[in-house]
Homo-oligomer: A and B are copies of this chain.
Amino acid sequence: MSKLVIVGTVAFDAIETPFGKTDKILGGAATYIGLSASQFNTDSAIVSVVGGDFPEADIAMLQNKGINMEGLEIIKDGKTFFWSGKYHNDMNSRDTLITELNVLENFDPKVPAEYRNAEVVMLGNLHPMVQMGVINQMKNPKMVVLDTMNFWMDVALEDLKKVISKVDVITINDEEARQLSGEYSLVNAAKKIMTMGPAYVVIKKGEHGALLFHENKMFFAPALPLAEVFDPTGAGDTFAGGFTGYLAKTGTYSFENMKRAIIYGSCLASFCVEKFGTERMQHLKKEEVNKRLHEFKSLTQYDIELT
């Protein structure tokens, strides 16, 4: 088993979907990543920042999942990052209603000393220079995974490109892959992005699954078709948490193992959307994950004799 460092927001979210709305609830990329990765009982640490308004109970909950929280800076007189969004009826698009950076504005991440030798690093969506600050603290990580979004391509492309050149895996959605590469075809987009640094490109297509590219190889994992999607918030981060959690647990970075990691990521993300916020992930049982892996297998596996 390898150590896993998770950098990203720990936040409050207020979410509205066609099924209802929430007050301020626990959210943030690092929260979802950490909860998802904790399914593998990995030795993980969250590096993030919150304000004095952040509940101790939430920190305790994450610690109870086995996540080291020493890297969570608490700025007593500051306020926690807050995001509010409203999903459209199709659940595939959303409007951001409120973004209050608060303590995130001057976030200076500090990786706890005993996690600087972690093999796997998951850089959740943040300003590229903050992500770079974390990379610079690590000693010889084997697998640095970067999540980012179109916002940074718009406002900090040069910084973003510097970080991209330093990572092993980038995870972005299809539109972002097109924006970053200037290529419409995802195959060509992935090829171009690989020339920018990462040996692996993961393109997330939401309900349409995820693609993994490496050299001339390509692997696809569908999203499990669900009767009801309740709240898509955090699905991408839950995917990333399953992906990196599995890699850290196994400590193996072959393409075959990356494929399994993608399947675990998809599997875990399928739970995240079943309830509001982190609720489903907080109470997810190992037996439920195993059962769903069987469903994934029957969804995707077939037997054709090839000649």
Q: A: which residues have CB within 8 A of B?
A: 89-90, 184-188, 205, 208-209, 211, 217-220, 222, 225-229, 256, 259-260, 263, 290, 293-294, 297-304, 306-307
Contact = CB atoms under 8 A, between A and B. Distances in A.
A225 B185 CA distance: 8
B219 A302 contact: yes
A263 B300 contact: no
A74 to B, nearest CB: 39
B225 A222 contact: no
A220 B299 contact: yes
Contacts of A307: 290
22 contacts: A90-B184, A185-B227, A185-B228, A185-B229, A188-B228, A205-B208, A208-B208, A209-B222, A211-B225, A217-B298, A218-B298, A219-B298, A219-B299, A219-B300, A219-B302, A220-B225, A222-B222, A260-B304, A263-B304, A293-B304, A300-B302, A301-B301
Nearest to A290: B307
Nearest to A18: B184
B226 A185 contact: yes
B259 A302 contact: yes
Nearest to A295: B218
Contact of A294 (B185, B260, B306): B306
Contact of A299 (B185, B218, B228, B299): B218
A197 to B, nearest CB: 21
B306 A297 contact: yes
Nearest to A229: B185
A220 B300 contact: yes
A222 B187 CA distance: 14
A227 B102 CA distance: 43
Contacts of A304: 260, 263, 293, 297
A255 to B, nearest CB: 10
Contact of A220 (B89, B186, B222, B226): B222
A187 B226 contact: yes
A150 to B, nearest CB: 17
A235 to B, nearest CB: 15
Contact of A303 (B90, B186, B228, B260): B260
Contacts of A293: 304, 306
A300 B218 CA distance: 9
